[in-house]
């Protein structure tokens, strides 16, 4: 398995897609029930293959990731051959930007001396989707990129 198995909730959400996946394998509902009962290891393998296919599709379409911690935000623009990072670091120990109050403070104080911006670009390794997945495992979430674009424009105006 390349990524990780979808959760039970995710599989339930993708129930129809999983049925279609089984149909492409020429597995009927009755056959699936028999496989689950008599060959659970084969059922596990099918779930793993389906999960990997779903992850490949999701990661292939992902264009932006965000990761928040107490004093930092990492915003990734996922390009074709490389990812671009805008990082924001708050150098004020009493501010926690994972809280509503801390995030509001940051929005109102983006140009404060305690707020530092960083930019970086990194080429993908051999498997761009695996690089993206590793960021998600570490806590990043897929987004539409509004915050990235806002900060890109803000940083661009400063420099």
Burial of 17 (0-12, 13-18, 19+ CB in 10 A): middle
- Cβ(156)–Cβ(86) below 8 Å: no
Burial of 65 (0-12, 13-18, 19+ CB in 10 A): buried
pTM: 0.84
3-state secondary structure of 25: coil
Q: Tens digit of pLDDT for each residue in 131-140?
A: 999 999 999 9
Q: What is the pLDDT of residue 157?
A: 43
Q: What is the pLDDT of residue 156?
A: 67
Token duo for residue 43: 């059922």
Q: Tens digit of pLDDT for each residue in 89-122?
A: 999 999 999 999 999 999 999 889 999 999 999 9
């Amino acid at each position: 398995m390349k990524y990780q198995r979808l959760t039970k909730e995710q599989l339930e959400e993708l129930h129809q897609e999983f049925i279609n996946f089984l149909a492409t394998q020429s597995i009927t509902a009755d056959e699936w029930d028999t496989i689950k009962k008599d060959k659970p290891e084969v059922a596990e393998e099918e779930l793993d293959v389906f999960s990997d296919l779903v992850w490949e599709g999701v990661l292939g379409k992902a264009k932006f990731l965000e990761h928040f911690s107490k004093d930092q935000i990492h915003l990734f623009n996922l390009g074709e051959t490389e990812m671009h990072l805008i990082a924001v670091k708050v150098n004020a120990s009493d501010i926690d930007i994972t809280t509503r109050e801390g995030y509001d403070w940051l929005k109102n104080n983006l140009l404060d001396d305690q707020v530092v911006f960083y930019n970086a670009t990194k080429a993908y390794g051999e498997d761009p989707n695996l690089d993206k997945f590793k960021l998600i495992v570490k806590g990043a979430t897929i987004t539409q990129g509004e915050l990235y674009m806002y900060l890109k424009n803000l940083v661009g105006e400063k420099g």
